[in-house]
Amino acid sequence: MTPEVQFINLGLIDYKEAWDLQEKLFNQTIQDKISIRNGDATLTTKNYVLFCEHPHVFTLGKSGHEEHLLLNNQELEEHNASFYKINRGGDITYHGPGQLVVYPIFDLDHFFTDIHKYMRYLEESVIQTLSEFGINAGRAPGLTGVWIDGDTPSARKICAMGVKSSRWVTMHGIGFNVNSDLSYFSHIIPCGINDKAVTSMQQELEKELDMQEVSNTLKQKLAENFGFSYVTETP
């Protein structure tokens, strides 16, 4: 049976507001799984994919180091940016306008119970999306995310990843640099990696991209790679 996923386009949304929605859906899914395992035959778990952009924000994962943020509180205000310590894996990263952020809240019992495979499928969906726009991307040895020239000295990251899972339910996800203001990455040590550059589709192609076109392509690639169908559209 083909898994079904509800697609929700949140548009430009405050990071904390999107995080709260993720937590709500994530916790509800976990509670439903517990009820099902306790014998409630009336319930089924749901899967969601949230697409959005955020105002300028830096987020620090559980395994991160606060010193990888190179701005103090006053400088954060001057750059119109916020900062959150959050419960995903990984170190520090940046989100902002022009970056496509994707949060899958999946019950992996509908797909496969393998977090490594899950992350590789997310990466592959981005790699295939970039290919549709003429950008040859892939992986970097020993590192997560999507990279261009990942196995060379000119390696540069175009998509960061960080996820949380509990009882095979996922949250958080990817930050995909489409038309991102890359100057904000100079204020952090991205993902704790200080010897690799960050890039965007706009920088690689030397033109601004249509965010909706990129979103539609990635949305399709996610469905193809994970083998699901979308059940509803939320504008």
Say whether 52 is catalytic: no
Q: How far apart are CA 176 and CA 51, in angstroms?
A: 11
Which of 171, 184, 129, 138 is closest to 157 using CA atoms?
138
Q: How far apart are CA 133 and CA 123, in angstroms?
A: 16
**Catalytic residue (one of 191, 198, 214, 223):** 191
CA atoms within 13 A on the CB side of 165: 18
Could you identify the residue written with the tokens 């290919």? 131
Could you identify the residue written with the tokens 């929700």? 8
Instruction: Write the single-letter amino acid at 66.
Output: E
Which of 225, 219, 180 is closest to 203 using CA atoms?
180
- What is the full DSSP assignment across 18-69? HHHHHHHHHHHHHHHHHHHHTT-TT-----EEEEEE-SSEEEE-TT--GGGB
User: Which segments of the chain does DSSP mark as H helices, in order?
Assistant: 15-37, 73-78, 115-132, 201-205, 211-226
CB 126 within 8 A of CB 219: no
**Which are the catalytic amino acids?**
191
